[in-house]
Chains A and B, each alone.
Chain A
Amino acid sequence: MRLETVWVGRGGQGVVTAVYLIAHASIRDGLYALANPEFGAERRGAPVKAFLTLTDYLEDSPEPIKTPDVAIFLDDKLLEPMKIITDAVKPGGYVLVSSGKEPEKVAELVGRDDVNIAVVDGIGIALKHVKLAVPNAPLAGVFSRVFGFPSLESIRDALEAQLGKAVEANFAAAKEAYESVVVIKAKGAGGAREAVEIPTTSAFLTGPYELVPWQKVNKAGVVYPGSSLRYKTGSWRTEKPIIDHSKCIMCRKCWLFCPDDAVLEVWRDVEKGGKAVRVKEIEFNYDYCKGCGICADVCPTGAITMVREI
């Protein structure tokens, strides 16, 4: 038996813990595991990738996985930018996704009908049991259901060892996901697919670095001024703020407290008493809003609410 899996999520979603959980639980069930997280920028929201190979014989090579049997996404917003990973899954393999969207919609995002697709609302389940938007325990439950291992009992043991706290809450989340996962079976035999591989260099660097030979890299690795405007950190959100303008009193507390400068005042043409007037309104810059929810917390009139996005 050999199952090669690649896990994708963001810093703070528990990707590393997720692979440690499944590895630990599988080892407890008598298998061999090699959980090999790829550490990049250790920053909340930044994409994180981890490899996990499960075998019933000793495997001690940390070779990166190129054509996984399984790809697991802790964040459906990564399906598009990390398409290379779902494309590399072997025909007949599996894509497991944590998403609040309809399973059919997720299947559309995956864009393949020759792989099995399992969907669970990992964040919804985690928020319910653990009160945190961390879908790793739910995905451990999904993994157990889809592959028949590791056992739920071993997952509980792994939660104990890897987390050491909130074990029962996380276990309840794993169990609910185990029971509620929806699987869309693969159709067809895959046909003539062009073989795709996950590149062996880190998948999360920006720019065409793979084209730059050592002779052309900046001397001493010097970095020249750039702009963080290029990094649309809004993709990290699990929830986004929406505003009810009829309740807004333009106190601007949200603007004052927003840590990302993502609350904007915009002029808007509206009709008032039959006359066209220009008024100022609060809007959000969703390119950079990370969905922290501070604006909703400080709003004195309850005009701002947070809604789930993934």
Chain B
Amino acid sequence: MTAELQTAVKQRRIALTGNHAVALAAKMAKVEVVAAYPITPQTPAVERLAEFVNNGELDAEFIPVEGEHSALSAVVGASAAGARVFTATSSQGLGFMYEILPIAVGLRLPIVMGVATRAYSAPINVWGDHSDIMSMRELGWIIYLVSNVQEAFDTVIQAYRVAEDPAVHLPAAVAYDGFWISHTLQPLEVPEDEEAVLKYAPITRSWRQLDVDRPASVGAVGTPEWYFEIRWQAYKALEDSVKVVEAADREYGKLFGRSYGFGSTYRAEDADLIILTYGSIYGVVKKAVDALRERGVRAGAAKLRVLRPWPRDFIRRALGGAGKVLVIDRALNHGGVAGPVATEVAATLAEPVYTAYATIGMRTIDSRGVARAAERVLSGEVRAMEPFTIGLRGGP
């Protein structure tokens, strides 16, 4: 066992906030072009990257754009020219990028973007929920949802390897909770030798489309005779990227000693009820499970780490054996049948699940509230596929 835990790459233990860990990961991946516009809670990530470039610690072009629409447009151009690129945003900034989000997919560009998740206006709320990231589910991006600072760091590096794989060539977003990860300081391990990151994820430029020696036009018109086929390539690439995501995570584990899979489970083997969530609150849910177990309730926890491509096998394996499943969603699915992840979990299991909304606008959540929600499910007080709430005053 001990031998397995020894990692091939020597590492050092440091302390960083989520934003600074994401910036360090991009730096260690030797990004060549960064274009970003500041928005709370993402700002410290791009400030740190600007410092790296300014101090000469990172040999990259930092393009100070006038808004997020330009930020993503700039990295689209740079990526098409073969550069390894990075951008980051939150909430309204992601909304402002929206026009370019599907373009990055259609052009098959392996852009990596950090999203410090935040609620959408109005009213203005700079705090963290997952409304922004959930609004890009159907566009064709790879989407990771991480749970702590270490995972944010590791996942940005993994994202380059996955996105740039010739079988994939798709953009990837790494979503980390605004404030509860972006501004939370935690210990993490990072490679002593930054070259180890490049060895894991070498810059191959396999995705380059703009080349003066081989002129081409990209993003030209796709008429009804061609568009379906071209988009299906991207659709299929995302579906098939499941294998690449898995392999990249396994390989990362071998080298750096940490791997995460498509998600994980906690005390779920014999559980009558499994509570699935995502992001930083997984720790809170695990605490609730411990409290429920002490009271003799056979509860378990699960977390989803990869939202796109949707990991149907993981979901079936993790939740298939449970009597009941409660999904805690962190973005409102206005007018929908259930929470955004709950809907897909129910469809995957072909069974109704219990669906709760929590942390909207960063409403505080605690393990007692989660345990109470579990008890409401087990007592029959709430019904499957009928959304209820945790922490909403006067809410169902």
Contacts and interface: CB of A to CB of B under 8 A. Distances in A.
Contacts of A202: 364
Interface in A15-62: 16, 19-20, 23-24, 27-28, 32-37, 39, 59-62
A210 B148 CA distance: 30
Interface in A184-239: 200-202, 210, 212-216, 220-221
Contact of B395 (A27, A34, A210, A214): A214
Given A62-B284, A210-B393, A201 B179 contact: no
B286 interface: yes
A213 B389 CA distance: 13
Contacts of B147: 60
Interface in B286-325: 286-287
Interface string B76-113: 00000000000000000000000000000000000000
Contact of B284 (A27, A33, A63): A63
A64 interface: yes
A275 B186 CA distance: 72
Interface string B19-48: 000000000000000000000010000000
B329 to A, nearest CB: 17
Interface string B256-294: 000000000000000000000000111110110000000
Contact of B367 (A16, A33, A63, A220): A63
Given A64-B366, A213-B393, A28 B15 contact: yes
B183 A61 contact: no
Contact of A34 (B126, B186, B287): B186
Contacts of A28: 15
B287 A61 contact: yes
Most interface-central of B41, B185, B286, B394 (chain A CB within 10 A): B185
- The DSSP consensus for interface residues of chain A is mixed
Nearest to A65: B366
Given A33-B15, A213-B394, A61 B185 contact: no
A99 B113 CA distance: 45
A108 to B, nearest CB: 32
Given A60-B148, A63-B366, A35 B184 contact: yes
Contacts, number: 89
Nearest to A36: B184
A62 B122 contact: no
A161 interface: yes
B160 interface: no
B123 interface: yes
A114 to B, nearest CB: 25
B22 to A, nearest CB: 17
B15 A214 contact: no
Interface string A167-179: 0000000000000
Interface in A65-108: 66
B183 A39 contact: yes
> Top 4 A-B pairs ranked by shortest CB distance?
A213-B394, A61-B283, A221-B123, A35-B185
Interface of A: 16, 19-20, 23-24, 27-28, 32-37, 39, 59-64, 66, 158, 161, 200-202, 210, 212-216, 220-221
30 contacts: A16-B183, A27-B13, A27-B14, A27-B186, A27-B187, A32-B186, A34-B185, A36-B184, A37-B179, A39-B127, A39-B179, A60-B147, A60-B186, A60-B280, A60-B282, A60-B283, A61-B287, A63-B283, A64-B364, A66-B366, A201-B363, A201-B364, A202-B364, A213-B393, A214-B392, A214-B394, A214-B395, A215-B394, A220-B123, A221-B122
